[in-house]
A and B are shown apart, each in its own frame.
Chain A
Amino acid sequence: MPPRKKRTSWQLGYWPLAVLVISGGVLLIIGWANLAARRWSMDFAYPFVATPSVLADTLHDESLALKGARALAFEVENLRRENALLTARAARMDELERENGELRAAGGMAPPAQYRYRACEIILRDPVGWNEHFTISAGSDSGVLPGAAVLALVPGEDGLTVTLVGVVRTVSRHSARVVTLLNPELKLSARLPEADEVGFVNAEGAGAASTGLVELNYLPVKGNYLLGERLETTGLEAMVPGGIAMGRLAELEPVNQRFGNTAYRRGFFQPLADIGKLRLLLVVVLDRQSEPPAAP
């Protein structure tokens, strides 16, 4: 009886399997190393990167001493007036929040996630991607999480309006990298309250960044849209509260209603904030007492 021929590992199918497993492992390691390098470099470079903004702040603070007593008194008076107005608005918001909580409780709904806002400033911008991404001076030590909304205050019809600027992408201990609405990497849902329709920002990623317009995809064809109408966040994303203004509808691509068979159309909106000129921002931080919001 001839001896039984031993089958090779290739014939057994182990070799291709091993290649697959190793390739997957290498890809995983590269991805992890990429993320780790980003975090490490952000932490390591923070003192160097933050130096110009720290110096500018110090200079600004010190320059106050050069102002006269009369000018300072005038500024204090103005700030007091503004403070009183903001306190009144905050009281009104507290009342609405309480009322909303009661209504949700009556309807058997879970209480909404509680957010806080932390002030921060832009410490580093890339001249090649000036409007598309930047680094802020708040990190995980301030409770910032990836996906958190980054907001700015812009002058609106009735005082200051809070508007969405971007979303945190990577977080290190002292800083975080933010991708803005003008970056095709940022994808999120947006609501048009007047048309009562929902679209998706940068969903196709074709981009219109350079003209300062943002792509808005998957708008239902049947919607009655008005150019100039307001866009706001839907609240569907975990760390982006709903109802925050994003911009105004600026363009809509025409659709052949009679012969076309498409169900969606594309539009473009103009962000409310001039992203290239921002310095001071607010970042959404989850309140420690509240439950983390579940992604729908």
Chain B
Amino acid sequence: MRILLVTVTVFLTAVAEAWLGNYLMLLPLTGCAVFYFTVSLGDRMGLFAALLGGALTELLYGRSIWLAAGLLPVYCFGCYWQRRQRTGEVALAAVPGLAVGMLVPAPLYLWKYLVMGWRRPDWMEPLVFIPVAMIFCAAWLPLTVWWLDRCAGRLGLPRYRERKE
């Protein structure tokens, strides 16, 4: 059941992210889902979600990088958050949301400038997109937690808010 929930959620968020990306909106929906699963379902399921989500978004976009470069930092951050921080309140998820919004696009831009050459990178693009993604994730992650906690509750799976008190 865990694998089914993770697979379906990650697939839907990856497709939705690709749709939004088509309108020049870099909104890391998959990153938020990966963070949620890492905290609520543990390290293994988090890693599975990160690899699956990373492979899906990269294949959908036709990027030339592998190993979910944008989602593995989110997975590591989720592992840290699960062990060290409180997850009791839904609204508190806005704080890691800010970090997720930065951790997903930052490696992608690093990769882009590395591949494209550092000759004349357009710094304005990440300077606009990353803060927008951070603000979006600060609002989106609490919604993700609220919605996926409801689904997990019905399926009898561990919930984000009950993970650590």
What is A's interface to B at a CB cutoff of 8 Å? 34, 37-38, 41-42, 45, 48-49, 51-53, 123-130, 132-135, 169-170, 177, 184-185, 205-211
Contacts and interface: CB of A to CB of B under 8 A. Distances in A.
Contacts of B152: none
Given A37-B59, A130-B24, A210-B122, A124 B116 contact: no
B117 A208 contact: yes
Nearest to B55: A37
A170 B18 CA distance: 18
A135 B25 CA distance: 17
For this complex, into which size category does the number of interface residues on chain B fall?
20 to 34
B27 to A, nearest CB: 9
Contact of B119 (A45, A133, A208): A208
A38 B105 contact: no
A252 to B, nearest CB: 16
A188 B88 CA distance: 57
Contacts of A127: 21, 24-26, 129
A48 B15 contact: yes
23 contacts: A38-B62, A45-B60, A48-B18, A49-B15, A52-B22, A125-B21, A126-B21, A127-B21, A127-B25, A128-B108, A129-B61, A129-B63, A134-B62, A177-B62, A184-B116, A184-B117, A185-B64, A208-B117, A208-B119, A208-B120, A210-B120, A210-B121, A210-B125
Nearest to A211: B120
Interface centre among A45, A128, A184, A207 (most CB of B within 10 A): A128
Nearest to B60: A45
B19 interface: yes
A51 B119 CA distance: 37
Given A45-B59, A207-B116, 13 more contacts: A34-B66, A45-B60, A49-B60, A52-B19, A124-B60, A124-B61, A125-B24, A126-B61, A129-B61, A133-B63, A207-B115, A208-B117, A210-B125
Interface of B: 15, 18-19, 21-22, 24-26, 55-56, 59-64, 66, 105, 108-109, 112, 115-117, 119-122, 125, 129
A208 B121 CA distance: 8
A134 B60 CA distance: 10
A49 B18 contact: yes
Nearest to A185: B64
A59 B155 CA distance: 39
A135 B62 CA distance: 8
B119 A207 contact: yes
B122 A41 contact: no
Contact of A133 (B55, B60, B62, B120): B62
A126 B120 contact: no
Contact of B22 (A125, A132, A133): A125
Given A49-B18, A130-B24, A41 B59 contact: yes
B112 A124 contact: no
- Among B26, B116, B122, chain A packs the most CB atoms within 10 A around the CB of B116
B59 to A, nearest CB: 4
Contacts of A184: 115-117
B109 A128 contact: yes
